[in-house]
Amino acid sequence: PATSVGSIAARYLEEEELRSQHILECLNAHIEELKKESEKIVKHFGHQE
């Protein structure tokens, strides 16, 4: 049973690795969006000066 528990934990961690990759991509997307949108705002309000 000890080995099967080990393999189950290993599989969990393997899946967790994929999930953490995925969430990193999501967070990066949010940051990219913030960069783009804030750049637009800076440009828009910069031109008016």
* Secondary structure (DSSP) of 1-49: -HHHHHHHHHHHHHHHHHHHHHHHHHHHHHHHHHHHHHHHHHHHHHHT-
CB of 4 to another protein, least distance (A): 8
CB of 37 to another protein, least distance (A): 5
Sign of CA dihedral 42, 45, 48, 49: negative
Residues of the shown chain interacting with another protein in the complex, contacts defined by CB under 8 A: 1, 4-5, 8-9, 12, 15-16, 19-20, 23, 26-27, 30-31, 33-34, 37-38, 41-42, 44-45, 48
CB of 42 to another protein, least distance (A): 8
